[in-house]
Amino acid sequence: MKLNIPFGSNQPDPFVIRAGDRYYMYATHAAGVQLYVSRDKLDWDFAGFCFRREGFREFWAPAVARIDGKYYLYVSCMPADAADEHSQRLVVAVSDVPQGPFAYCRDLVPPFSIDAHVVQSGGEWFLFYSTNDYAAERVGTLIVVDKMLSPAEVCGNPKAVVRPTLQEEIFMRDRFEKGQDWYTVEGAFYFRKGNWHYLTYSGNCYKSPYYHIGYARAFTPENDLTKVEFHKYPNDHEYIPLLSRNAAESGTGHNSILEEDGRYYLYYHGRDNGASETQECRTGRVCEVRAEEGRLSVLAR
């Protein structure tokens, strides 16, 4: 379902939280982090940019966590004069309120690092993010997790969580050299229900017909997320996405999940079929998902 948002705006990589009686959605933009505000999860008003950083551009995939009474924003960006997108690096900013403005704290992880999700487990905090592996069997972008020492510092010992395994995860063939295809798995979002751990992710590129949301899972009482062994659903070899293109929309991916009263609302971006693939036209959308005994399923879309 498309969100009700002023016409002409775009919301790539929507990340939604609730604070008090309002909902806040943070989204990607070249000039800064976009902010939208809602009272009902469906009707949203644009509230401007909640974070900008002079000398930087391409603020990708923001995520917000409330830690010790403050709101921390995790987002990647790159120097304004950089030509290589792999100069993207995760930074952290802070605010007393969810609407910001957020003040830059420090760089969090060296380039290339994108698509943060910061979560608490067992009284500790963990950072999921995506980075590159040039030595892997399938060269490209994967998801890792690292323990946090503070809201603005990680241990620096990331562990691989989800790697590319499918042909449908090929971002670009022969990207940097002949015969070496580039794979991409990114956009991690973690949540837990009982002893089931779930990690949703996006595979491929939003312009590809194979772009999709998949998920990995683990069943364990373990709280240290660097020790949890996630496995793709249904396995490493079958392309059975949780969410992908249908008769109405394409480019469906990079989600966050809002849990309320035991129900899970998955926010993602997509574009209407027939829309331009060369111009930015990803808009925020939502569907409800069910999490039962290690299985995720879409209830309504």
Give per-residue pLDDT as tens, 89-110.
999 999 999 999 999 999 999 9
Q: Sign of the CA dihedral 13, 18, 23, 24?
A: negative
Question: CA–CA distance from 183 to each of 73, 132, 247 (Å)?
Answer: 27, 10, 26
Written as six digits, the tokens of 274 are 């027939």
pLDDT at 62: 98
| Pairing label, strands 114-121, 124-133 | antiparallel
Written as six digits, the tokens of 276 are 């331009």
* Span 230-237, average pLDDT: 98
* pTM for the predicted model, two decimal places: 0.96
pLDDT at 278: 61
DSSP tag of 98: T
Q: Which residues is 77 bridged to in the sheet? A: 89
pLDDT at 46: 96
Contact 173, 149 (CB under 8 A): no
pLDDT at 279: 65
Owner of token pair 């990207």: 175
Q: Which of 217, 202, 82 is nearest to 130 (CA)?
A: 202
Amino acid occupying residue 252 = T
pLDDT at 301: 79
| Pairing label, strands 140-150, 114-121 | unpaired
**pLDDT tens-digit map of 4-28:** 998 778 999 999 999 999 999 999 9
Give the separation between CA 144 and CA 160, rounded to whole angstroms. Answer: 4
Q: Which of 244, 249, 183, 194 is nearest to 217 (CA)?
A: 194
Written as six digits, the tokens of 111 are 């380039």
Other CB atoms within 10 Å distance of the CB of residue 217: 20
- The domains of the chain are located at 15-300
* Span 62-68, average pLDDT: 98
The SS3 of residue 268 is: strand
Contact 201, 217 (CB under 8 A): no
Contact 86, 112 (CB under 8 A): yes
At the top level of CATH, which class does the domain 15-300 belong to? mainly beta
**pLDDT tens-digit map of 248-284:** 999 999 999 999 999 999 999 999 987 766 667 899 9
Q: What is the mean pLDDT of the chain?
A: 95
pLDDT at 281: 86
Give the separation between CA 184 and CA 212, rounded to whole angstroms. Answer: 11
